[in-house]
């Protein structure tokens, strides 16, 4: 589970969802925004009372994960993503559909970040999704038709809008999620309130960023737990959004394939009365965002900012509440090796991307190298994946990486330095 430190986000290859647009016969299948005061969906069944408390979550690689059960028979690991504005679950592993014996009723096209071809999926209906203490009935299951995305992640699928039909409390200090049928206590005790609107079924709130050169940027920003960065700015949304001179490039996988993001620092991010100084910000053009350009706003507030708060999403009331947690004042750091890795399903760790101006590039490390050990300690498997970001955060640290390329092992020495 989570440690007390704030990690350098996006150093791992991730499935960068930002938004899952479901297109059926050319029309959007996103739900309409809820109206203020609406009760939670009738499909929600709490096992005991009006809440489900202490549902375990894990934050790893800049994403939130939960364990769920589908149709009371198959356990799955799901990425909790407010950027998924549709109901039900998007399953990346087609084999789960086979195991469940699903009968598909239609086919959809998935739209998200990336510059390659869109992915397709089959849809089944009337499934049950269960977490400790709560069941969501009558849910669609959207099952990917190929394994291209699934092969690059260790989890089974994505859930978003369905869970957020409840009032959702994300407690990052205790690594738990609490679900309620209404606000658990008075709104005054929950922190600062932000009004939510919705774009393509995804929550949007007002905030302000201070850009390089001191220009303030106030406007609507998507609130997306599926974004690992503290902030993602849409370069195409406003001419004032310019990139800082000092940048690092990271890469990931979106629903539309490979995507690269230049990453730098901006002077500040203001969320109501709270100021986050020198946060990490990624920048995206319209080609990289793909169909996700349908989202309104200047950019996205991501998990890198949200996990510094105690967070309550109240979709039924169109509200978001934030109150700082113990991580709020920790300075933002980022990967100082300039290397992005991917943990494959065989638990091997592969170099996915190397920034051209980084210590990793200067040490001769290349995309496709297998990372075997760091300072003579074996690093294969999930445990290292969880610790990876902390390992590369100490400026001046000297590391010897043991790698394998074309069946040959060799050592590369590098000295970490702050790249942005």
Strands 74-80 and 157-159: parallel
Q: Which two tokens stand for residue 84?
A: 């998924």
Q: What class is the 346-415 domain?
A: mainly beta
Pairing of strands 216-223, 299-301: parallel
Considering Cα of 136, then 139, then 141, then 142, what sign does the dihedral take? negative
- Residue 336 backbone zone (phi > 0: left; psi -120 to 50: alpha; other: beta): alpha
Taking alpha carbons only, the member of 256, 275, 257, 258 closest to residue 267 is 275
How many Å apart are CA 225 and CA 229, to the nearest integer? 9
Output the pTM of the full model.
Answer: 0.87
The DSSP code sequence of 308-361 is TEEEEEETTTTEEEEEE-TTTTSPP---SS-EEEEE-TTS-EEEEEE-TTSHHH
- Can you spell out the DSSP letters for 161-178? TTGGGSEEEEETTTTEEE
d(CA 336, CA 19): 29
d(CA 12, CA 15): 10
Cα separation, 4 vs 24, whole angstroms: 43
Q: Looking at domain 1-334, which of 3.20.20.190, 2.60.40.1190, 1.25.10.10, 2.40.70.10 is its CATH number?
A: 2.40.70.10
Q: Is 95 helix (H, G, I), strand (E, B) or coil?
A: helix
Burial (CB < 10 A; 0-12, 13-18, 19+), residue 329, is exposed
Per-residue tens of pLDDT for the chain, all 420 residues = 333 333 333 333 344 443 444 433 333 333 333 433 344 556 899 998 899 999 999 988 788 999 999 999 999 999 999 988 889 999 988 999 999 999 999 988 776 555 456 678 899 999 999 999 999 999 999 998 877 667 767 789 999 999 999 999 999 999 999 999 999 989 889 999 999 999 988 999 999 999 988 889 999 999 999 898 999 999 999 999 999 999 988 877 666 667 788 999 999 999 999 999 999 999 999 888 877 788 889 999 999 999 999 999 999 999 999 999 999 999 999 889 998 887 776 777 888 889 888 999 999 999 999 999 888 888 876 666 666 667 888 899 999 999 999 999 999 999 999 998
- Residue 362, φ and ψ in degrees, nearest 5: -65, -25
Q: How many CA atoms lie within 13 A of 169 on its CB side?
A: 22
CA distance 191 to 25: 43
Domain boundaries, the chain: 1-334, 346-415
Burial of 213 (0-12, 13-18, 19+ CB in 10 A): exposed
Q: How far is CA 311 from CA 227, 230, 323, 377, 415, in A?
A: 16, 15, 7, 37, 37
- Give the separation between CA 121 and CA 124, rounded to whole angstroms: 10
Tell me the three state secondary structure of residue 234.
Answer: strand
Instruction: Using the structure block, give the residue that is written with the tokens 């071809």.
Output: 117
| Three-class DSSP category at 171 | strand
């Amino acid at each position: 589970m989570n440690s007390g430190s704030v990690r350098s986000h996006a150093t791992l290859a991730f499935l960068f969802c930002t938004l899952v647009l479901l297109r059926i016969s050319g029309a959007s299948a996103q739900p309409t925004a809820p109206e203020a005061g609406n009760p939670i969906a009738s499909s929600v069944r709490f096992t005991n009372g009006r809440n489900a408390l202490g549902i375990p979550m894990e934050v790893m690689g800049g994403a939130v994960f939960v364990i769920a059960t589908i149709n009371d028979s198959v356990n799955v690991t799901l990425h909790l993503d407010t950027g998924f504005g549709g109901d039900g679950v998007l399953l990346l592993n087609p084999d789960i559909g086979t195991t469940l014996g699903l009968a598909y009723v239609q086919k959809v096209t998935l739209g998200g970040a990336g510059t390659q071809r869109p992915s397709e999926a089959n849809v089944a209906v009337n499934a049950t999704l269960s977490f400790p203490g709560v069941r969501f009935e009558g849910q669609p299951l959207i099952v990917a038709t190929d394994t291209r995305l699934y092969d690059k992640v260790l989890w089974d699928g994505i859930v978003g809008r369905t869970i957020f039909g409840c009032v959702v409390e994300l407690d990052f200090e205790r690594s738990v999620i609490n679900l309620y049928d209404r606000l658990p206590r008075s709104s005054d005790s929950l922190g600062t309130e932000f009004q939510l609107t919705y774009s393509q079924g995804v929550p949007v709130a007002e905030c302000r960023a201070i850009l390089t050169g001191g220009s303030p940027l106030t406007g609507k920003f998507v609130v997306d737990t599926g974004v690992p960065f503290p902030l993602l700015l849409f370069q195409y949304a406003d001419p004032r959004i310019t990139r800082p001179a000092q940048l690092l490039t990271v890469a990931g996988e979106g629903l539309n394939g490979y995507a690269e993001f230049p990453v730098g620092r901006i002077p500040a991010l203001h969320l109501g009365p709270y100021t986050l100084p020198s946060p990490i910000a990624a920048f995206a053009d319209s080609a990289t965002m793909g169909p996700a350009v349908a989202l309104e706003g200047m950019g996205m507030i991501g998990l890198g900012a949200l996990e510094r708060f105690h967070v309550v999403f109240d979709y039924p009331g169109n509200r978001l509440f934030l109150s700082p947690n113990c991580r709020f004042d920790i300075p933002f750091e980022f990967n100082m090796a300039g290397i992005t890795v991917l943990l494959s399903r065989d638990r091997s760790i592969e170099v996915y991307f190397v920034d051209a101006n980084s210590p990793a590039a200067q040490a001769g490390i290349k995309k496709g190298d297998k990372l075997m050990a760091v300072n003579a300690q074996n690093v294969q498997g999930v445990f290292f994946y969880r610790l990876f970001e902390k390992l590369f955060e100490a400026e001046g640290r000297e590391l010897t990486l043991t790698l394998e390329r074309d069946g040959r092992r060799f050592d590369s020495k590098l000295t970490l330095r702050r790249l942005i």
